[in-house]
Structure 1
Amino acid sequence: MLEHNDEIRRVKISVRPLVEYVYSSGDIESGFRSVAALHEGTRIHQQVQRMYQEGDLKEVTLKTEMLYADILYQIEGRCDGLILLEDGWMVDEIKSTSSDICFMEEGYPVHWAQAQIYAYIVAKEQGLSQMKIQLTYIQVVSGEVKKFVKSVTFSELESFVWGILASYNPFASLRLDHIRRRDDSIRSMPFPFDSYREGQRKLAGAVYQTVKEGQKLFVKAPTGIGKTVSTLFPSVKAIGEGLLQQLFYLTARTTTRTAAEHALGMMQSKGLHLQAVTLTAKEKICFQEKVSCKKEDCPFADGYYDRINVGIMDMLSNETLMDRTVIEHYARKHQLCPFEFSLDAAYAADAVICDYNYVFDPRVSLKRLFEERKKKTVLLVDEAHNLVDRGREIFSATLGKAEFLELQRGYKGKNNRIHETSRVVNQYFITLKKECGEIKRKLWKELPEELINKLDLFVQEAEQELQGIGHGDAESRQLLLNTYFAAQHMIRISKLYDERYVTYAEVVRNGVSIRMFCMDPSFLLAQAGKGFRSTIFFSATLSPLQYYRDMLGAGEDDYSLSVASPFHREQLDVRIEPLSTRYRDRESTKGSLVRLLSKMVRERQGNYLIFFPSYQYLQDVYDHFSAENSDLATIVQGTGMTEEEREAFLASFRSDNPDTLVGFAVLGGIFSEGIDLQGDRLNGVAVVGVGLPQLGMERDLMKDYFNHIGKNGYDYAYVYPGMNKVQQAGGRLIRSEHDTGILMLVDDRFLQRQYQELLPEEWKE
């Protein structure tokens, strides 16, 4: 935590990030991280601490202050152990590792550094002239222990800590200068538009008050109100007033990330000086043709930590809005992996624009966000309706048989332990396949403990192999790495397993897989957001609000807000066409549907989007439509479109198109939300069907679960998610005060009360 005022400049920092900054060196590991640190570390620490004698202390909080140059450093940390000796104390720093410690001749410099700072604080407090320091390493699989001990004088410790501060001071000074300039700019920054849109001031005020009180806020605010700037502006103001240190703008799509970048850019044009980093997925930003983080394969990974501090200092000294282009420029300049570089920059930034995963997914979350920092961080969750299904996927885990059979065969005679543990897991799947019987499926509510125990053994052996020289070829090692990650994820999810989960196995063709399915992610989403000062969930389609409060983990004291549409009813011509689009009726109503669509798009020349509940239905109607309207220009959403193809699709919707253009797209797909086609870029939208998810086992399991806990299961599993897609698609049409257009809803169910009540007020007659 960095503070700046007229009297003194302060830096409050924990021992670990301090020494990690100064002692960063070496390469990016090959994508492999030991699971030990995740679920073994605490247990192993406690195992060692139980060996302590009377008078020894464990988990000791230590603090000190040191004035270096013009900065007062407040250093604090938690020492694993203080062992009482006849002539004083010995600091014990405990580290668990999956590496082979047989040939370890001395501890790692960063671990010695951490222990030496603890030793300095103890010696300073107690007036000791000398301290002993012990590093205790434990191999998590074998339980082997190796200890390194040395004695250090107080003057040596003091000199060492001053050296650490000398190395860290340029970075701290840079950050403090930035904070002073940032806060001054925020205080004088006006709202980036000449005036507030109707409802904007109300939303911005509610966000600020929620941040101030440290609560959650659930906001349903219509398309076009300017939700992005209305949430960012008050959050930035809260940073300037010291309520926050950092904000995260979380999105599900690249398009909404761009909107956040644009909003911050507008504030910058009004005088804001704030540093923001946009995170881009590794697969997209990687400089190499094939993603591989081994130093042998990637010069940007080789020696990454030897160059990172210089790269970060350079970029932070010269840039504010660090989007993908800026990140790539400095990454190339300093020969750094652009993905890891962006992550390291995110810890220093005032604002981070990124995918939901970086906060909610335990596999990829920003794990170095310390609790103290979280307490002064707000999460702005854009298009929050997407987080329900995303959360379900994040907290579910799937594993298949095929990979273990392949590993069993591939490592035979090369690594008997990998061969054997893979064989044991493969045998579990063979038994499971038999249990699935003729219905090719097995369902149960309990945690599959037998499998988890077998995976634990596999993971331990895989760690040894992956950290060693390796016995298999490159392809086998890659398969082992991928399977290790999948097994590790299932083990991690097994620790979250409760009554909100169900387990099922399925036989598809010759293969069998097992899935731990999270039917209700609300509790785990709430846990993932715990510790942050405030969370703002907002969307144009957070409706019904109570459903989303339930599904996103609201507490009784958390706030809700509905903002009325700023647009006039006259801007939107809503039509309901009571034509059945149910699966059984589609063939018989196809001709009538094509005539309705043809009539709508021929009323006036312009650009139209027609949304369908599935690709198959879309293609079927499109073939019929294009045959009867060969004079009209059409464009169709394809499966697996590249970014360039998506951009080309949207670019076709030009306001100066000389002829009518009709686009065919899928409900809930990439073009049904998060896109902005203002003015005559879009003149009409047709939504075919009520968007219900396809009937299936998982949806039915959800339905039964919610019925069991007293909710309307069918609504929670099918109706609400479906109608959300309808609202999102229809919301593409009116994006500004000047937009007008036709919205046609095609399905007789739109006339039923159950569905009518879920339509936005501005759509209702």
Structure 2
Amino acid sequence: MASDIQISVRTLVEHVFKSGSIDARFRSQTALLDGTRIHQKVQKTYQDGDQKEVYVSTEIDYDGLTFTIDGRCDGLLMRDGKFIIDEIKSFSQPLDQLEPEGYPVHWAQAKMYAYIVALDRELEEVDVQLTYVHVETEEKKSIIQMYTFTELASFVMEVIASYAPFAKLLNDHRLKRNESCRELTFPFKAYRYGQRKLAGAVYKTIVDKKNLFAKAPTGIGKTISTLFPALKAIGERELSRIFYLTAKTITRTSAEEAFERMGDCGLCAKTVTITAKDKVCFQEETNCQKDFCEFANGYYDRINQAIFDILSNENHLTREVIESYARKHTVCPFEYSLDLAYSVDAIICDYNYIFDPRVSLKRLLEEQKKSTALLVDEAHNLVDRGREMFSASINKEPFLQLKKEYKGVNQSIYEAASKMNAWFIRLKKSHETQKEFVLEELEEDFLEEIRQFAMTAEQALQLDPSPSLLDTYFKVNQFIKIAELLDDHFIIYAEKERKDVKIKLFCLDPSELLQQMGKGYRAKIYFSATLSPLPYYQDILGGSAQDYALNIPSPFSEEQVEVFIKPLSTRYRDRERTKNAIVSVIQSLIKKRPGNYLIFFPSYQYLLDVYEHFKLTDHTTQTLIQETGMTESKREAFLAAFKPDQSETLVGFAVLGGIFSEGIDLIGDRLNGVVVIGVGLPQLCFERNLIKDHFSSLGKNGYDYAYVFPGINKVLQAGGRLIRSEQDHGTIVLIDDRFLQRQYQHLLPSEWRQFTII
């Protein structure tokens, strides 16, 4: 039985014919829009009876495979009784730089369409035309050639023959993958408490094409409990691809380890981990141009072989594996990982590849989304990350600098920057007494000026890629993009800082845009140990009443953790007064119960104040302190100091919501206790108050949405570092009088509610 390979004309010809180098020099952001505009403009000149955007499709059998090839032909024209296939291409370089005969990849695309049209209409010959149009001048150049059906049929078979080895590799793998997923058994001797329930809910969510919000406690093995059922769904042909989305490197590692473990149990699945470009770049300075980088130079000439090689030999395409094959084939490791993402079964990457409108994997077609599931790990992080992705700001300062830099050098940039600078000055003067103030709307003349600046910068950057102009251009462009999304989920505000002024388009509620960016996927699974309270997260992450929700209680007994509450005020105004008492609590704890402790503070300054006082009164206890901007090696050294069975006490001072308060595993005796100082409330600030007012105006508890829920999340994450398995025991001390208030009691996990007041 022949296996079916579905592929678009464009994907097929680009695989076979694309060549050349990665060139990340400045490219107009309007290129895509220009392409669409130019296509429409050319199509408007077609005559009566001509057709545009003609869908074509055919099936071809080759070497035991059936290829279903389809696409949309730009134009099907009729001239003097003859059919002409028209393929329109926008071109940004001057047309005299165009290859006289056009480009092989463009001819290949047009000839594929011509073959399908000739086959369907039983034509003996057909004319094929490439229409190149310059994006700015709209100057046009057409190249036309006649082909017989025999020539086209022969060409198409050559293209299929070139692609077939790769298609066969993918097809053979998919058959093996589906079989291995069907036969895969859970990779541990037994399910932990709650794992079977979570796995069952994930599978049902995928089958029912729904979304799931799951609160599942730390330590039950959420990674395996979500990946395993998703792979079983692949085996049952319910899915073809999985995205495992994370906010932190450490959770990416957990996903990689889960795939390796299942691989040892017979799973045959290919996974790729996408690492940020600046982390994997082989060069000292990231400059993706052929003249600067051998890995960018000729990238497309070598990439097919590099992909074929790695997919023939490896299943787990981790950062290290990708880097070694990238060096072997001299290809850019970042672009390599993105190109591999379209051929593998699971992609482990940051949230932004799906949810950020500026970054997402654009080539994932709607059809493929329908068979793709998103597993969103540590989903509580997506709230602030979502706000960040959908917000944008610009400052006065860069325009002032550009005004100075381009005076007498480039009049048009000088004038455009001057206008922007003057606008900010007027804004500043109109609100002299306020540091921060809300703007009702963006004035149309301001938007016009900022668009004008972007267009002027675009033209200048073609000739002069000045870093300061490029940086400002990107910020302006991002601002314009977000300005197009503005609705009542946003607020516009300005902030003065010394001589500078900033305007921010601030996304108060990311729910609708997260929902929009996740549209079309078969299922979305949001899970975290601290997705609590669940209704809040369902609301703010774009859930709906039709979604499934699951709350798995902790598998760990109350006997495993002893909880103490010390009712002291940690409010800003009382910190100096209660500092001594906090140090006394810590010292009393480590004296009675020696071991390894993490003490979490709501701010770095507070941490330093208490730490200095602790050191004055205790010269012997070994201490560690979280530094700002720690490198990966320093982080690893910090965690490595927490050894099991130490004879001396070790106290680590860290920040709530920071790098050590979530996603780290200090199992057994590596951690004996956690002290959380404060209820984790974000600092009172203008932005948080805007969030509070927004949700209050909708009849919700704005203070909870802006302060209480994000704060308690940090507390739960920090406390969750302690009990990671059935064997773990330890002590949690919560220092703040608010922990005794009913509002906070209600938000604490049930196993923390049997506490002793100190």
TM-score range, shorter chain: over 0.9
The amino acid of 1:612's aligned partner reads F
Counterparts of 1:610 and 1:395, CA distance in 2: 34
Residues in 2 aligned to 1:31 and 1:637: alpha-carbon distance in whole angstroms: 39
Structure 2 match to 1:284: 279
Amino acid at match of 2:557: H
**Residue 150 of structure 1: aligned partner:** 145
In 2 relative to 1, CA 704–31 (structure 1 residues): closer, same or farther, beyond 3 Å? Answer: farther
* Partner residue, 1:20: 14
Query: What is the CA distance between 1:153 and its match in structure 2?
Result: 2.5
Aligned-partner Cα distance in 2 for 1:109–1:695: 60
* CA 143–709 in structure 1, closer or farther in 2 if over 3 Å, else same: farther
Q: CA deviation at 1:289?
A: 1.1
How far apart in 2 are the matches of 1:19 and 1:720? 51
Paired AA for residue 399 in structure 1: I
1:138 and 1:265 mapped to 2: Cα distance? 50
Question: CA distance change for structure 1 residues 715 and 26 in 2, over 3 Å: closer, same or farther?
Answer: same
Distance 1:532 1:445, change over 3 A: farther
CA contact (8 A) 1:98 1:463 kept: no
Post-superposition shift, 1:105? 5.0
CA contact (8 A) 1:214 1:534 kept: yes
Kindly provide the CA deviation profile for residues 692-748 of structure 1, in whole angstroms up to 9, marking residues without a partner as x. Answer: 111111111111111112211111111110111111011000000000000111111
Instruction: Select 1:603's aligned residue among 592, 617, 620.
Output: 592
Superposition map of 1:657-672 within 5 A: 657-672=646-661
Paired residues of 2:611 and 2:653 also in contact (CA < 8 A): yes
Give secondary structure in 2 for the equivalent of 1:602: helix
How far the C-alpha of 1:459 sits from its partner, in A, is: 3.0
CA separation of 1:167/1:415 partners in 2, compared to 1, >3 Å: closer, same or farther? farther
- Distance (whole Å) between structure 1 residues aligned to residue 193 and residue 177 of structure 2: 29
- Count of equivalent residues: 753
Percent identity (aligned): 58
Say if 2:215 is the partner of 1:220: yes
User: 1:170 offset after TM fit, Å?
Assistant: 1.1
Give the 3 Å change call, closer, same or farther, for CA 377–160 of structure 1 in structure 2: same
SS of 1:193's partner is coil
State whether structure 2 residue 94 is matched by structure 1 residue 92: no
What corresponds to 1:612 in structure 2?
601
CA apart distance, 1:412: 4.4
Q: 2:369 aligns with which of 364, 374, 391?
A: 374
Q: In the alignment, is residue 232 of structure 1 matched against residue 227 of structure 2?
A: yes
SS at match of 1:609: strand
Distance apart, 1:40 and its partner CA: 4.3
- Separation in 1, partners of 2:427, 2:115: 57
Within 5 Å, which residues of 2 pair with 1:713-732?
A: 713-732=702-721
Q: Which whole-Å CA distance do the structure 1 matches of 2:290 and 2:741 have between them?
A: 62
Residues 642, 465 of structure 1: CA spacing in aligned structure 2 closer, same or farther, 3 A cutoff? same
Higher alpha-carbon deviation: 292-301 or 54-63:
54-63
Distance 1:23 1:435 in 2: 58
Whole-Å Cα distance in 2 between the matches of residues 393 and 247 of structure 1? 25
Is it true that 1:355 corresponds to 2:355 in the alignment?
no
Which segment is superposed worse, 174-183 or 77-86? Answer: 77-86
**Displacement of 1:82:** 2.1
Aligned with 2:450: secondary structure? Answer: helix
Matching residue of 2:160: 165
8 A Cα contact 2:205 2:523, kept in partner: yes
Contact 1:26 1:302 (C-alpha < 8 Å) held by counterparts = yes
Counterpart amino acid of residue 602 in structure 1: K
Aligned to 2:312: 317
Give a deviation string over 1:382-422, Cα, whole Å, max 9, x none.
Answer: 00000000000000011122323333443445444444433
Q: Residues of 2 paired with 1:163 and 1:549: CA distance?
A: 52
The Cα shift of 1:374 comes to: 0.9
Could you tell me how far apart the structure 2 residues matched to 1:166 and 1:424 are?
58
Matched with 2:324 is: 329
* 1:691 is aligned to 2:685: no
Distance in 1 (alpha carbons) for counterparts of 2:12 and 2:417: 41
Q: Tell me, in whole angstroms, the C-alpha distance in 1 between the residues paired with 2:235 and 2:190.
A: 22
Partner in structure 1 of residue 55 of structure 2 = 61
Aligned to 1:634: 623
Q: Cα 1:17–1:436, aligned 2, differ >3 Å: closer, same or farther?
A: farther
Which residue is equivalent to 1:758? 747
CA contact (8 A) 2:672 2:731 kept: yes
Tell me by how many angstroms 1:556 deviates: 1.9
Paired position in structure 2 for 1:255: 250
Correspondence for 1:576: 565
**Does the Cα contact within 8 Å between 2:436 and 2:686 map onto a contact in 1?**
no
Conserved in 2, the CA contact under 8 Å of 1:436 and 1:506? no
For the Cα contact (< 8 Å) 1:135–1:148, is it kept in 2? Answer: yes
- Report deviation, 1:517: 0.7
Q: What is the aligned partner in structure 2 of residue 201 from structure 1?
A: 196
**Structure 2-normalised TM-score?**
0.96
Amino acid corresponding to residue 281 of structure 2 in structure 1: C
Q: Is the 8 A contact 1:374 1:533 kept in 2?
A: yes
- Structure 1: unaligned runs, 5 residues or longer: 1-6
Amino acid at match of 2:345: D
Q: Write out aligned runs for 1:399-478 (5 A).
A: 399-467=394-462, 470-471=463-464, 477-478=466-467
Aligned to 2:723: 734
| Distance of aligned partners of 1:162 and 1:287 in 2 relative to their CA distance in 1, 3 Å threshold | same
Moved more, 389-398 or 510-519: 510-519
- 1:132-177 CA distances to partner (integer Å, 9 max, x unpaired)? 3333344444444444433332222222222211211111111111
Question: Deviations 1:743-765 (Å, cap 9, x if unpaired)?
Answer: 11111111111111111122112
The one-character-per-residue Cα deviations of 1:612-652 (angstroms, maximum 9, x if unpaired) are 00000000001111221211000000000011111111111
1:379 shift after superposition: 0.4
Partner amino acid, structure 1, of 2:66: L
**1:4: which partner in 2?**
none
Task: Classify the secondary structure of the residue corresponding to 2:466.
Answer: helix
**In structure 1, what residue type is equivalent to 2:552?**
V
2:532 counterpart residue number:
543
SS at match of 1:169: helix
Query: Superposition pairs for residues 649-660 of structure 1, below 5 Å?
Result: 649-660=638-649
- Indicate if the aligned counterparts of 1:79 and 1:93 stay in contact, CA closer than 8 A: yes
1:51 corresponds to which of 23, 45, 50: 45
1:693 match: secondary structure = coil
Task: After superposition, give the CA deviation of every residue in 1:13-49 in whole Å (9 maximum; x if it has no partner).
Answer: 1111111111221111125443224444444433433
Q: Secondary structure at the match of 2:731?
A: strand
Q: CA RMSD in A?
A: 1.8
| Counterpart pick for 1:386 among 381, 395, 399 | 381
Q: Which residue of 2 aligns with 1:3?
A: none
Q: Is the 8 A contact 1:500 1:518 kept in 2?
A: yes
Which stretch of structure 1 is more off in the superposition, 225-234 or 94-103? 94-103
Quick check: 1:98–1:464 contact (8 Å CA) kept in 2? no
Of 235-244 and 401-410, the range deviating more from structure 2: 401-410
Q: Does 1:585 align with 2:574?
A: yes
Aligned to 1:122: 117
SS class of match (1:675) = coil
Shift of 1:540: 0.3
CA deviation after TM superposition for structure 1 residue 592, in Å: 0.6
Quick one: distance in 1 between partners of 2:724 and 2:28?
48
Q: Distance in 2 between matches of 1:755 and 1:100?
A: 66
TM-score by length of 1: 0.95
Q: Distance in 2 between matches of 1:97 and 1:405?
A: 34
Q: Is the 8 A contact 2:214 2:527 kept in 1?
A: yes
SS of the equivalent of 2:217 reads: coil
Amino acid at match of 1:711: K
Deviations 1:195-221 (A, max 9, x none): 000110010000001001111000000
Task: Determine whether 1:562 maps to 2:561.
Answer: no
How far residue 479 of structure 1 moved from its aligned partner, in angstroms, is: 2.2
Instruction: Tell me the CA shift for residue 329 of structure 1.
Output: 0.3
Per-residue CA deviations over 1:181-205 (Å, capped at 9, x if unaligned) read: 2122222221000000011001000
Residues 675-690 of structure 1 aligned to structure 2 (within 5 Å): 675-690=664-679
